[in-house]
Amino acid sequence: MMRKNRHPDIILTIFAVSVDCIASGGFLFRAIFTQVPYNILEIHYSWCTYDVLVNNLFITYSGHVLSILSIQRMLLIVFNIRVNIIFWIVIAVALCLFSWIQALIQSIKGYAGLSMLKIFCFIKSSSPPSKPFYYTLLVTTVLTYSTTIISYLTIIVFSVKQCLKQLELNLDKTKVYRECRTIILKSLFFLLPYMTIYFGRMFCWFYELSTGKPRTWNMEYISMALYSSSIIVNCSTVLYMNKEVNKEFINLVINLKRAVYTNN
């Protein structure tokens, strides 16, 4: 993937996937160490702080990086605009440091706490000193979520228009419309899960802001259950947006399948 003849933007894709891998490790950490040998997040504040600064932020950050990747792919595919990779990396790193430094300050002050599900830690939004971090997280998440969806839809509309242009070549209308329907259905297959998994989390935030009441246990459970699948959906979105990576991934799966059958 790193050969010189490959597009420089592949670096951003690798960066996004790398963040997802770290975030996956965060989910695995929670699954194990909230059960074995006991819930270390509940007993040890230091581990709760670790969960906030590493696991929680990287899981959130994976969505931010995906948003940057979506803008980059949209500009390239729809408008044929290629922005220097350094620009995107600087934005990605700045987003990470901005959130991480704020979370570090709040954790040192003792504002990290265990969620009502007791499977992850977060910065308590009820504490007045932690409000700036809470609003920063809310704004960046909503902004990146909206940006990803808009970029996604722009790519879908562009792809459908390109498909319909085939009618000008007097090709069979039935085949053209069938191809367009396939593009739309395949795109929605990736887009709808992405919209769903992040919607639950933001619904809880806006519920708390609009009512002044804390989220219920059921709301927390459903939003977290959806959010836990974000890594899978994010990686699927990367595969959809970058056809080159998609092709290489499929070839890798095919080669692994052949190797398994050959050994058997």
The band of 3, judged by pLDDT with boundaries at 50, 70 and 90, is: very low
Pairwise CA distance, residues 68 & 63, whole Å = 9
Kindly tell me if the per-residue pLDDT of 7 is higher than 60: no
DSSP-assigned beta bridge partners for residue 113: 122
pTM reported for the whole predicted model: 0.81
Q: What CA–CA distances, in Å, run from 117 to 26, 98, 130, 139, 231?
A: 16, 27, 21, 24, 20
Q: What pLDDT, on the 0 to 100 scale, is given for residue 5?
A: 41
Q: What is the pLDDT of residues 95-140, one digit of tens each?
A: 888 888 988 898 888 889 899 999 999 888 777 777 888 888 888 8
Using CA atoms, how far apart are residues 83 and 7, in angstroms rounded to an integer? 12
Identify the three-state secondary structure at position 124.
coil
* Beta-bridge partner residues of 123: 112
Domains of the chain with CATH codes: 10-236 (1.20.1070.10)
Helices 57-79 & 131-164 angle (0-180, nearest 10): 30
Q: What angle do CA 164, 168, 174 make, to 5 degrees?
A: 55
pLDDT tens digit string along 231-251?
Answer: 788 777 777 766 677 777 777
